[in-house]
Structure 1
Amino acid sequence: MESPKTIVPGTVWYDTDGNPINAHGGGIMYHDGVYYWYGEYKGDSTYYRDDICVGWRAEAGGVSCYSSTDLENWKFEGVVLLSEPDDVHSDLHPSQIIERPKVIYNDKTKKFVMWMHIDDPNYEKAHTGIAVSDSPTGLFTYLGSFKPNGGDSRDQTIFKDDDGRAYHIYSSEWNKTLYIGLLNNDYTQHTGVYTRNFIDQYREAPAVFKHKGKYYIISSGCTGWDSNTAQCAVADSMLGEWKVIGNPCIGEDAEKTYYAQSTYVLPIGGKKGLIIAMFDRWNKTDLDDSRYVWLPLTFRDGKPVIEWKDEWVLAE
């Protein structure tokens, strides 16, 4: 009998080759029995620039991919969206920003579609980038970037619903408002149908999931690399009215989200209906050494609850 898989949040996690996993601000796609973890592949040298708003930077190394069948042992599949160091004008040049990549599969086109935040070092470009591939392990072909619905787009995620419709969720209006936009049938553009949510509330790092017919968004405040209080909201539909229901984190350091920031929520299912809340614990002076904090998400009195655990078992 196979032993239960153990998750230890906040420690260095290694891939099957013994190297630290380099997949920050990422998300996980489940396809044909395999989990694929995509994230920011950060350069191993962090530096400070006093001429940009965030200050601490690491070279953008493209988007990495790791695969697993058990969510514990991760094989490095390589950098599946390559940076372009020879083209200083490219969105993918290492001097630029490539953040929060997420991938979904299009059942009609048979394409894997990646959405990401594309920016300049001062976060003034505020574009969304798109890439596609015939395989979950790439290589992905970059299609370019744009401002969705004519406005800026920074922290973002995408969500594919049970009916095959997909949505882009992104911080806009200089992070003051969170937009939710319906994507077209091939998931590579917006349809022009969108809603403005949490107006003037300054929310970023959105993570979206569905549970028993309800839709949930977990997000953070806007404090750069520093931690703050998470917020959860619920709605009856993605384009419907969202109701804020408070901080899902409880216990010690809950007001600091356990010194981490939301990036993705992964419903596993199984007998116990396991849901994993994924966070990044940013290390702003050594961004490559930022750690991963995964915790079980449960429901109490109909609301999502996340509680710190030094270690926990992946029991489906």
Structure 2
Amino acid sequence: MKLNKSLIFTICCCFIFIKCKIIEEKQTKNSSFKSGKKWLDTNGDHINAHGGGIMFRDGVYYWFGEHKTEGRGGNTTLIGVRCYSSTDLYNWKNEGIALQVVENPDSEITKGAVIERPKVVFNKKNRKYVMWFHLELKDQGYNAARTGVAVSDFPTGPFKFLKSYRPNAGNWPINFKEEWKTETENTPVKWWTPEWYTYVKKGGFVRRDFESGQMSRDMTVFVDDNEKAYHIHSSEDNLTLHISELTDDYLDFTNKWITLAPAGNNEAPAIFKDKDTYFMITSGCTGWDPNAARSFKAKSIWGPWESLGNPSIGKDAELTFHSQSTYILPVEGKKNAFIFMADRWVPRNPIDGTYVWLPIKINNGKPILKWYDKWDLNFFN
């Protein structure tokens, strides 16, 4: 059967209209944040930068995150760390893979290892871009508990992997009591008992890992006003947070460090400084499932740190709006303007994970997170 010319013309017009709509949708510019929704880059693809952090340099924001893949195996690292760039925080250009896993099975970052929560900072002294990340070795689950460092001459990479660490081997935290160093009590057989909590709080796990170096899992990096950098990580089987000072080149540890909230089960640390006060937001330890966030503050990076409780308010506050913290972003050019960045994990298909970005308000000396379906940077005006 022959199609008449009118029908052919109509089909062609429909095809052209649909194609134009697809192109138009892909090129539509964002002008606000819509948490929990799919966030498309300037190519029209869902942003793939999970557990990420952001660095600002020369008028450009760079977002680094885990490149996830499809299926339950997508939480192992099969590609590497991806980078995006933006000048307005709403619209992001895909800059490619900043740190790529390798095929060499002898490398610590071989394909199939686990690279999580990458954070990049710029070192003004050596003019290098430094990336730190949580590293788990291939086929070892989460037993390695290491932190890796890579370096680049350019913000988008490529980054060169240098080495990984179990931090602070052979060094006691500066807030450790002298009598704890020679404590000989055996580890309580049963966890989560009063005796076990006392053991952990008195540094039992610090002593356990003293020679080999402390465990390092969920982590972030913070550069202070004086350009001193700090590595903050979940340690002691995710029981205690550690804050460690980095060397002047940001590539190693000075071995000056403290413990924070021993036996508190904190992970996913995110830190910021407002005026003369340091604030930190963390999560509890419930795997990929969301839980109630926690918050802390201190006048010195070395503490003492005061617990402030859950910073979230309103509906779903007890689940941190179904997300987990990853980074707190200071907005350039605006005073006292900070964005809470978090992930909504999808372990059955990690590539589908979405992002929650919310403004932080400081109320009576405490950070407050409230849900907004849609908001923009005018919130801080």
User: What TM-score bracket applies, with the shorter chain setting the length?
Assistant: over 0.9
Are 1:145 and 2:164 matched, yes or no? yes
Q: Gaps (5+ residues) in structure 2? A: 1-28, 169-212
> What residue is the counterpart of 1:184 in the other structure?
247
Match of 1:109 among 123, 126, 130: 126
> What residue is the counterpart of 2:344 in the other structure?
281
Q: Which whole-Å CA distance do the structure 2 matches of 1:269 and 1:299 have between them?
A: 18
> What residue is the counterpart of 1:73 in the other structure?
91
The answer as to whether partners of 1:118 and 1:129 remain within 8 angstroms in 2 is: yes
> What residue is the counterpart of 2:109 in the other structure?
92
Q: Residue type of the partner of 1:18?
A: G
The answer as to whether partners of 1:46 and 1:288 remain within 8 angstroms in 2 is: no
Give the total of aligned pairs.
305
> What residue is the counterpart of 1:136 in the other structure?
155
The answer as to whether partners of 2:31 and 2:376 remain within 8 angstroms in 1 is: yes
The answer as to whether partners of 1:113 and 1:188 remain within 8 angstroms in 2 is: yes
Q: Which whole-Å CA distance do the structure 2 matches of 1:28 and 1:13 have between them?
A: 16
Matches within 5 A, 1:206-221: 206-221=269-284
The answer as to whether partners of 1:44 and 1:58 remain within 8 angstroms in 2 is: no
Identity in percent: 49
> What residue is the counterpart of 2:48 in the other structure?
22
Match of 2:265 among 191, 202, 205: 202
Q: Which whole-Å CA distance do the structure 1 matches of 2:37 and 2:47 have between them?
A: 11
Shift of 1:58: 4.3
Matches within 5 A, 1:232-243: 232-243=295-306
Shift of 1:113: 0.4
The answer as to whether partners of 2:76 and 2:113 remain within 8 angstroms in 1 is: no
Shift of 1:147: 0.5
> What residue is the counterpart of 2:71 in the other structure?
45
The answer as to whether partners of 1:249 and 1:255 remain within 8 angstroms in 2 is: yes
Q: Which whole-Å CA distance do the structure 1 matches of 2:76 and 2:34 have between them?
A: 26
User: Which one has a bigger Cα radius of gyration?
Assistant: 2
The answer as to whether partners of 2:134 and 2:216 remain within 8 angstroms in 1 is: yes
Shift of 1:301: 1.7
Matches within 5 A, 1:261-276: 261-268=324-331, 270-271=333-334, 273-276=336-339
Q: Which has the higher helix share?
A: 2
Q: Which whole-Å CA distance do the structure 2 matches of 1:230 and 1:273 have between them?
A: 21
> What residue is the counterpart of 2:235 in the other structure?
172
Shift of 1:94: 2.6
> What residue is the counterpart of 1:157 in the other structure?
220
Shift of 1:269: 5.1
